[in-house]
Amino acid sequence: MIRNWFDALFSWREKHIKEKHFILIISFLVGIATAMTAILLKSMIHFIQHILTERMDVTNANYLYLVYPIIGILLSGLFVKYIVKDDIGHGVTKILYAISQRKSRIKRHNTWSSLVASSITIGLGGSVGAEAPIVLTGAAIGSNLGSLFKMEQKTLMLLVGCGAAGAIAGIFKAPIAGLLFTIEVLMLDLTMTSVLPLLISSVTAATVSYVFTGQEAMFKFTQMEAFVIGRIPYVLMLGVVCGLASLYFTRTTIWFESIFRKLKTFRKKFVFGAVVLSVLIFLLPPLYGEGYDTIGSLLGHQYNQLLDGSLFYDMKSSSMGVIIFMLLIILLKVFATSATNGGGGCGGIFAPSLFLGSIVGFTFSYASNYLGIFSHLPEENFALMGMAGMMAGVMHAPLTAVFLIAELTGGFDLFLPLMIVSISSYITILSFERHSLYSIRLAQKGELLTHHKDKAVLTLLNLNTVIETDLIEVKPEMMLGDVVKAIAKSKRNVFPVTDQRGILRGVVLLDDIRNIMFRPELYERFNVKKFMVSPPAKLNINQPMEKIMQIFDDTKAWNLPVIDNEDKYIGFVSKSKIFNAYRDILVENFSEG
């Protein structure tokens, strides 16, 4: 009944609503859905946190801090392992992978699984953010809604971007940041056909959030001191510090994640992650949860309360004690975040980036003021700028950082220093690391879609779709007469030579034997071993297409064999077939129409 109704609706839509108009309608629906999902996630997290922490005080809270995060990552890990039965970590990386594989199809369970897992993880004190899970959820909503209406591949990619933009706009009430996030982080190119749907999703999501949660900025920030042009050098220095801190965060995250990958069982990962996380939160309570309360305290110049419930409680009145405490948070936050995800939790690095940025900016100005290095630097302003600098460095998204921080706090009066610190941080980390923490995993595998159109098309190309398997194989022991019979049946001028195990031993080229193939007296004198040659190169089935094209250019070959990891022959790839596939993808995915 429902299916018949939907088929009728689908047919009516095709007849009465143009495709480009229907995309705008879907982008509007995506904006509403992602905003409601973002509001639901925030409400679930805050509800759990309120239930667990409403009676905490500075004298006994630490004991509960020790237990809650362990329970959180355990419940989340069990939920993922036994109910979802799929990996839902690294949400933004999964979106990038879906786009890079030319499918833009995200599994249906991602519309709700990340919502449940992240609310449990963060609500119970996991040291991660809710933004990456909600971005994955939004992208999944866009992808599945587009699939439901049988939208083409290019449109699906756009709707994935709409979902991500709506998610960011909805959870932060920041429509411009949502749009820029899709461009910078997800690396979708803006065209006349894509900008309007992305804007509609972002603005719709932000509007829905305003309706249900009020018009106040997410963080209350009052600029106590106007920005002075003479402080630009210090802002540039803060950007360099944020860039270096971002590099530390990125490299340490990748390294610590590799340790968890070596732990093969869920039990080992959980125990290791639980111990690391609980100990760190016990020592440094601000590492508990998303860290947005800490950001609010720093922007409100109430930094002393961050030491409550910690071993540094007696040092609240000591400036050096505050500096040491903040430096420890900067060094150890990355381990708390990685331990949360590695131990079974679900969360992202969006909130940790903002959290660390505020700490870095505050510590930079606080230490400078205490030591008398520079003239007085307003700590609230620098905490705000540090958030932009850290986000620009970790995510390689300076524009997103500038507009997000301005929209989050209402700090538009600091627009110039926000731009300066973001650009400075981005240039600094770019000198050491080409890719963001989101994309570095895919870049290492050659699966990253970028703004570079040639590289983007090569990334979208799938080697399996251009392999030719109609070539006749010959064996090393075959005589010339048998090869001539094979030539008579073949339309090709190259013949792969494989042994009994299917291992590629060489190739026979028609041009090489043309002078003897018409001499019957030689048919039983020469076998394939005598006249086969080695190919200019062998392509591995797992090599990225960019590397394959480089091999073609280096060897000047027009056809090359493809093998697997055990050197077994799979087929041949011709440069002409790659060019044809390249042209098709270019027209399908990057045309303006």
CATH of the domain at 440: 1.10.3080.10
Please write the tens of the pLDDT for every residue from 338-392.
999 999 889 888 899 999 999 999 999 999 988 877 778 888 889 999 999 999 9
Q: Are 231 and 192 in contact (CB under 8 A)?
A: no
Same domain, 208 and 123: yes
Query: Of 576, 591, 578, 571, which Cα lies nearest the Cα of 545?
Result: 578
Same domain, 327 and 432: yes
Please write the tens of the pLDDT for every residue from 135-169.
999 999 999 988 887 787 778 888 999 999 999 99
Same domain, 201 and 328: no
Does 218 fall in a domain?
no
Category of 49 on φ-ψ map: left (φ > 0), alpha (ψ -120 to 50) or beta:
alpha
Same domain, 17 and 106: yes
Helix or strand (DSSP H, E) at 505: strand 504-509
Please write the tens of the pLDDT for every residue from 226-267.
778 888 999 999 999 999 999 999 999 999 988 998 988 899
Average of pLDDT values for 457-484? Answer: 78
Domain boundary among 419, 454, 489: 454
Look at 344 and 587; give whichever has higher pLDDT. Answer: 344
CA distance 86 to 203: 32
Q: Give residue 442's pLDDT band: very low, low, confident or very high (50, 70, 90).
A: low
Helix or strand (DSSP H, E) at 171: helix 153-172
**Structure tokens belonging to residue 592:** 């303006």
Residues of the chain with pLDDT > 70, as a percent, come to 86
pLDDT of residue 332: 94
Domain boundary among 416, 439, 454: 454
Average of pLDDT values for 326-330? Answer: 93
Domain boundary among 153, 185, 213: 213
Same domain, 368 and 424: yes
pLDDT of residue 328: 93
Query: Of 21, 19, 32, which Cα lies nearest the Cα of 142?
Result: 32
Does 222 fall in a domain?
no
Does 580 fall in a domain?
yes
Query: Of 568, 567, 562, which Cα lies nearest the Cα of 466?
Result: 562
pLDDT of residue 424: 96
Alpha-helix residue ranges (DSSP H) falling in 372-506: 379-395, 398-409, 415-430, 440-445, 453-460, 480-489
CA distance 358 to 401: 13
CATH number at residue 529: 3.10.580.10
Which residues contact residue 507 at a Cβ distance below 8 angstroms, ignoring those fewer than 6 apart? 494, 495, 496, 497, 532, 533, 534, 535, 561
In this structure, what are the phi and psi dihedrals at residue 169, rounded to the nearest 5 degrees? -65, -35
Average of pLDDT values for 105-118? Answer: 89
Query: Of 348, 281, 317, which Cα lies nearest the Cα of 125?
Result: 281
**Structure tokens belonging to residue 357:** 């940025």
Average of pLDDT values for 477-502? Answer: 86
Average of pLDDT values for 41-69? Answer: 74
Same domain, 127 and 14: yes
Q: Are 490 and 482 in contact (CB under 8 A)?
A: no
Predicted confidence (pLDDT) at residue 463 exceeds the cutoff of 80: no
- Residue 503, helix vs strand vs coil: strand
Same domain, 207 and 235: no
Average of pLDDT values for 207-216? Answer: 89
CA distance 35 to 51: 24
Does 365 fall in a domain?
yes
Does 19 fall in a domain?
yes
Using the Cα atoms of residue 156, residue 161, residue 165 and residue 171 in order, give the sign of their dihedral.
positive
Please write the tens of the pLDDT for every residue from 504-537.
888 888 888 888 887 887 778 888 888 888 888 8
Same domain, 87 and 190: yes
Does 290 fall in a domain?
yes
Print the domain residue range for 415: 229-454
Predicted confidence (pLDDT) at residue 221 exceeds the cutoff of 70: yes
**Structure tokens belonging to residue 113:** 């699984």
Tokens 């879906």 belong to which residue?
98
Alpha-carbon distances, residue 242 vs 45, 303, 388, 393, 589 (angstroms)? 29, 20, 9, 7, 36
Please write the tens of the pLDDT for every residue from 396-439.
999 999 999 988 887 778 889 999 999 999 999 999 988 888 87
pLDDT of residue 306: 77
CA distance 525 to 435: 58
pLDDT of residue 459: 58
Helix or strand (DSSP H, E) at 350: helix 350-371
Q: What does the mean pLDDT of the chain come to?
A: 83
Does 420 fall in a domain?
yes
Q: What is the pTM of this model?
A: 0.77
Same domain, 425 and 472: no
Helix or strand (DSSP H, E) at 468: strand 467-468
> DSSP state, 26?
H
pLDDT of residue 264: 82
Same domain, 488 and 541: yes
Q: How far is CA 189 from the centre of its chain?
A: 16
Does 260 fall in a domain?
yes
| Domains of the chain: total | 3
Minimum mean pLDDT range among 12-16, 88-92, 201-205, 425-429: 12-16
N-to-C CA span, the chain:
37
Look at 420 and 105; give whichever has higher pLDDT. Answer: 420
Alpha-carbon distances, residue 363 vs 157, 238, 250, 414 (angstroms)? 41, 10, 20, 19
Alpha-helix residue ranges (DSSP H) falling in 173-287: 175-184, 192-213, 232-262, 266-283
Same domain, 209 and 257: no
pLDDT of residue 32: 96
Q: Are 90 and 114 in contact (CB under 8 A)?
A: no
Same domain, 579 and 486: yes
CA distance 438 to 349: 9
- Residue 66, helix vs strand vs coil: helix
pLDDT of residue 555: 84
Please write the tens of the pLDDT for every residue from 288-300.
888 888 888 888 8
CA distance 175 to 388: 17
Predicted confidence (pLDDT) at residue 280 exceeds the cutoff of 70: yes
pLDDT of residue 58: 46
Radius of gyration of the chain (CA): 29
